[in-house]
Chains A and B, each alone.
Chain A
Amino acid sequence: MKLSVWTYEGPPHVGAMRIATAMKGLHYVLHAPQGDTYADLLFTMIERRNHRPPVSYTTFQARDLGADTAGLFKTACRDAVARFDPQAIIVGASCTAELIQDDPGGMSETMGFSIPVIPLELPSYQRKENYGCDETFYRLCRALARPQDRTPRITCNILGGTALGFRHRDDIREITGLLADMGIEVNVSAPLDATPADLARLPAAHFNVLLYPETAETAARWLEREHGQPFTKTIPIGVGATRDFVAEVQKITGLGTRPDETHLRMPWWSASVDSTYLTGKRVFLFGDGTHVMAMARVARDEMGFEVVGMGCYNREQARALRKCAEGYGVEALITDDYLEVEEAIERLAPEMILGTQMERHIGKRLGIPCAVISAPVHVQDFPARYSPVMGFEGANVLFDTLVHPLVMGLEEHLLAMFREDFEFHDDAGASHHGHKAKARTEESARPPERADEQPAAESSFDIVWLPAAEKELKKIPFFVRGKARRNTETFAARKGVREISVDTLYEAKAHYAR
């Protein structure tokens, strides 16, 4: 047993739902107790889908146990096929049904359906949501893809887009456009918006573009092995990676056309003087392995940040991420326990976090700006506007996404800094040009006690600030004073210093300087 409040990933059957919901003409019959239908609302609310996920649940209850849960399953299968008329069905068990051992696969195969029935084995107590996606898509490809001739023109498949995928909708559109620029048509994009009949056509493509290894790598490897289709290894997130991706595609296809970069603004935006203050911003990255590895490159090579830590929650990517982290001189954090992530962030004290919904909240708690770069995400990260993270428009989107929280941070500091200014105090009214502005009275002009100026005794039990050091600390602008105090105390504690002098203060400053 492991105590958990937040989970980065759902159970594997939710992954299978993501595949079923992504596709059309496929139905999922899930042997599951009453209540497991909660997962429907992830799709109808977070992703705002306008239809129910194509999932039938047996919703067995206690009184059904020991009686005929197997019968319930067969009825659900029969009803689903009759009502929804799918091209194929997938069948499986959720975590509870796994324990009662009804064997959905075996049962459904004996029911004599005229459509393909694909059984899923998803070990709920060992694996998680991403595994569920990957395994389901692989099983579908295995069952449905048929050997056939290549298309006369050079075409590819785009693999990995799912329901509830972070920006999958727009990434696929962006990469489809990029490939079209290069003279390459998309044969099938799957699972997102594909039908079982489309999956049968997968082997007609000349190669595969694997956009999300988390959800489609097993299928891509199987297609390579079984149908001789090479697949791309570069994830086109960021300018450099997109150009590498283009080169990789050129090498696979032998085509020389380059995609249009007319609308790529990110490199100039990042080079412009306004961006100089981004230099060396210390960032911490966390999310799924693919997005973290790709974004680390964007952060360092394209934004000029310093990567101070990186990690992922999906252990399937652990090895690749560890290797990648070495290149940045940091140690990879592989965990699905958000408390460990929080601890790492606190320890590293980055100036910015690139993470998931959870890191956004950790950032809020610690007062660190954060941008969301990976699932799990909330409803606001399924935007109405076009917002890919891949390709050249994706790079534009990323620049804005990464800069906005920082600009906002600077804005907040400036506003706080001028809050005590005689022109900008709270009573001054909306405009200091207006005749309504009132001068500050002596009483209100006195700077208020700030929370971060509480006596040191509160934050550390045995460290004492000498009066001279305390005085020196006051000279530091108040908006960084709290951080200076914290850093100095951490430094002193590490060095075993009990009394903080002016020297300790500046030694600490030098220590944390970069």
Chain B
Amino acid sequence: MTAPGLPSGGGCRTAPVIKERGQREVFCGLTGIVWLHRKMQDAFFLVVGSRTCAHLLQAAAGVMIFAEPRFGTAILEEGDLAGMADAHEELDREVAKLLSRRPDIRQLFLVGSCPSEVIKIDLSKAAERLSQRFAPRVRVLNYSGSGIETTFTEGEDACLASMVPVLPRTEARELLVVGALPDVVEDQMVGLLEAMGIGPIRLLPARRIDDETAVGPNTVFALAQPFLGETHAALLRRGARHLAAPFPFGEEGTTAWLAAIAREFGVDAETFERVTAAPRARARKAVAAAARTLSGKTVFFLPDSQLEIPLARFLARECGMTPVEVASPYIHDAIHGPDLDLLPAGPRIAEGQDVDLQLDRVRADRPDLTVCGLGLANPLEAEGLSTKWAIELVFTPVHFYEQAGDLAALFARPLRRKALLKLEAAE
């Protein structure tokens, strides 16, 4: 149960951070709905916004939009902008219609957008009012997924943070794991922790509203995702204690994450070794296969999801890559610190973005692999750069031991493809 060794040349925790402001090529927090609604099976996400918001969800959800998804947009019309009074009546009417059509819905999230924030529709008041009206069957909560306040995965953070104040109180000493993970990954995680004798394990978000997630002064919580700053703060406010750890990407990250929890719950070294030895060996073997392609290559992360720092750490330490720039939309010392400690010194660390200036640096560096959004990926490929589009890292199971090989393969595949394709005419 030893902590991973710190890099010999020092980590990046104290490295100077390039802080940029300018045009940002990022998603807004509404996008979080696309994966959150699948995790929370009895929840509906109602965005109060414009046609742009509906169009964004459609573009982000792709074909998922046709599978009776549990999200939608109440599109503001001209009349809604004129008088504030009936915006609430309109919303109540749409919600009543929705809930009568979907009796299976137990939690309704009113999700704020840029337009609703700018005209200051009080969605928290609306949530309170609607909660009373539809209690006890439906709980109505509110959070903002607007672009002016949230970037991409921060939408999940805002959603979970809105749930924290209404979670039941408990005095029990329990572990709470925070962050939506694919079911298969969540099951693996719970399996590993239970095998060490840790339990009961509470999850936020739970799959259903009736699954018992409670919080109190004896709760300790671990974050499974690095973008949960607000939720972190909300849990501290309820007296819970955070277990700082690197994020569970790769063999090393997963081991360090599990070890932090094992230490807290007094698991002995022998038990830890017995539970983790076999999956660690499997993970190392699987990563090694992809690392053959990745080793010695340079990688550039554009800001997207806040997963960039832990992923750069994984690629640098376990796959032999050299990060040249690691940019994140936000860097939070209490959350990203342990991964920054482990990330070998060298790369530029950047927070925020001015996309044109950053692209100038990409072109100057000509990295072997650029991790970026879909708006930039094809244009950079056309300039001869290999890219890995970042959104896939949020949707695909990538955490913990069994997915470590898949995670490395996601980065190796574009490089292997580039080597395989011979499309140039013979000279």
Contact = CB atoms under 8 A, between A and B. Distances in A.
B97 interface: yes
A5 B72 contact: yes
Most chain A CB neighbours (cut-off 10 Å) among B30, B59, B77: B59
Contacts of B72: 3-5
Interface string A109-143: 00000000000000111101000000000000000
A62 interface: yes
By Cβ-Cβ distance, the 4 closest A-B pairs, closest first, are A35-B147, A35-B28, A40-B375, A50-B382
B23 A57 contact: yes
Contacts of B58: 6-7
Interface in A38-72: 38-42, 44-45, 48-52, 56-62, 64-65
B74 A3 contact: yes
Q: How large is the interface on B (under 10, 10 to 19, 20 to 34, 35 or more residues)?
A: 35 or more
Most chain B CB neighbours (cut-off 10 Å) among A51, A58, A96, A126: A96
B84 interface: no
A59 B23 contact: yes
B115 A95 contact: yes
Interface string A1-34: 1111111011101100000000000000000011
Nearest to A45: B374
B267 interface: no
A81 to B, nearest CB: 13
B117 A125 contact: no
Interface of B: 22-31, 46, 48, 50-52, 54-56, 58-60, 63, 65-66, 69, 71-78, 80-81, 87, 90-91, 93-94, 97-98, 114-115, 117-119, 146-149, 151, 356, 373-379, 381-382
B354 to A, nearest CB: 9
Nearest to A41: B374
Interface in A365-398: 365, 378
A504 interface: no
A64 B147 CA distance: 12
B356 A6 contact: no
A35 B30 contact: yes
20 contacts: A1-B77, A1-B91, A2-B77, A3-B98, A5-B73, A10-B51, A14-B52, A35-B151, A37-B25, A37-B26, A45-B374, A48-B378, A52-B375, A83-B356, A95-B50, A96-B118, A99-B118, A100-B118, A125-B78, A361-B63
B158 to A, nearest CB: 12
Contacts of A125: 50, 76-78, 80-81
B52 A10 contact: yes
Most chain B CB neighbours (cut-off 10 Å) among A34, A40, A61: A34
B81 A99 contact: yes
Nearest to B91: A1
Chain A, interface SS category: mixed
Most chain B CB neighbours (cut-off 10 Å) among A49, A65, A99, A358: A99
A91 B54 CA distance: 23
B303 to A, nearest CB: 11
A155 interface: no
Given A33-B114, A44-B374, A48-B378, 19 more contacts: A3-B73, A5-B71, A5-B72, A7-B55, A10-B55, A11-B51, A11-B52, A33-B147, A35-B27, A36-B28, A38-B60, A38-B375, A39-B59, A41-B374, A44-B376, A49-B378, A62-B146, A96-B147, A99-B119
A108 interface: no
Contact of B94 (A1, A9, A124): A1
Q: How large is the interface on A (under 10, 10 to 19, 20 to 34, 35 or more residues)?
A: 35 or more
Contacts of B22: 59
Contact of B114 (A7, A96, A126): A96
Nearest to A123: B78
A34 B28 contact: yes
A4 B76 CA distance: 11
Contact of A96 (B50, B55, B381, B382): B50
A280 B66 CA distance: 30
Contacts of A189: none
A247 B5 CA distance: 80
B30 A7 contact: no
A57 B27 CA distance: 13
Nearest to A75: B22
A365 B114 CA distance: 34
A469 to B, nearest CB: 34
Contact of B56 (A9, A38, A56): A38
B351 to A, nearest CB: 14
Contacts of B377: 44
Nearest to A126: B78
A59 B22 CA distance: 7
Contacts of B97: 3
Contacts of A344: none
Nearest to A37: B25
Contact of A41 (B73, B75, B118, B373): B373
Contact of B24 (A14, A37, A49): A37
A5 to B, nearest CB: 5
